[in-house]
Every structure is written in C-alpha cells, then in structure tokens.
Structure 1
Amino acid sequence: MPTLLNVNGFKFFFYANEHEPMHIHISKGDEYAKIELATLKVLAILLNQKT
C-alpha cells in the first residue's frame, strides 16, 4: 500500500490495481475515509465512536 502523504497524523494512501472509481484512502488513528478523486465525494467513512 503506497503512502502518498503523512501530515498531522493523517495518512493518505492507495492500493495498486484497485477498483474504479479512482479514489484515495485517508486514515488517522482508528478513523478512516475513502474519497473519490474526480468529484471529492466521500465513498466511505468510519469514525471511532468513543462512548
């Protein structure tokens, strides 16, 4: 999994040969998001729900 950027605890990465649409994964700690590159649409989000 190639990492493109690490900044302020956020890790921006992608997986080679992954499905369309082109997107990027972003994680910080236990939190995660997947963003479509062409539209910047959020495709997935997982937040650590501390109660």
Structure 2
Amino acid sequence: MAPTIVRDGQFRLFFFSREETRIHVHVAHPDGEAKFWLTPTVHLAVNIGLSQAQVRQAQAVVEAHIQEIQDAWHRHFGG
C-alpha cells in the first residue's frame, strides 16, 4: 500500500506501508522519483531520474508540506 499524502503540481508525495520505520517520504514525478528523510532535517536519500533542478523543486515541495507528511505518517503508523 502506498497512500498518497499530497499532490503538488507534477509531484505526488507518498510512503509505502511496509518500509523502514525512519520517517521519510517518496516523491514521484513523471521523470523519476526521489526519497527524502525528514529528520533531523529534510534531505535527499535517493534520486532516480530527476534532474538537480527537479530534486530541488521536490525538496521544496516536501518542506512546504512537512506538517501534512508528518501528520499522515503518525496517523498511518501510529506514534
């Protein structure tokens, strides 16, 4: 299961239900996908296919929606 948290422009933010427990978010884009850790600060974990400009845009989207992401994570996984 991969619940969508938010859509922002061409970006879809989501996480997988059966993945690692460290809080993170995946960001899908028509050109590729990235994964960002949220703690201690938002930072790139994995990039597949996105340009550096797209990665910066994706990180900005994550930062703009950080509270929504954290709230969705805690609702889904508890804690």
Give the alignment's TM-score, normalised by structure 2: 0.54
Partner of residue 42 from structure 1, selected from 44, 50, 57: 44
Give the C-alpha shift of residue 21 in structure 1.
2.1
Give the C-alpha shift of residue 30 in structure 1.
3.1
Cα distance in structure 2, aligned partners of 1:30 and 1:40: 21
Aligned length: 49
Structure 1, unpaired ranges of 5+ = none
Structure 2, unpaired ranges of 5+ = 52-79
Greater share of strand = 1
Give the alignment's TM-score, normalised by structure 1: 0.79
Aligned pairs for 1:1-51 (under 5 A) are 1-38=2-39, 39-47=41-49
Give the C-alpha shift of residue 48 in structure 1.
5.6
Identity score, percent: 27
Give the C-alpha shift of residue 31 in structure 1.
1.1
Amino acid at match of 1:28: H
Deviant stretches of 4+, over 4 Å: none
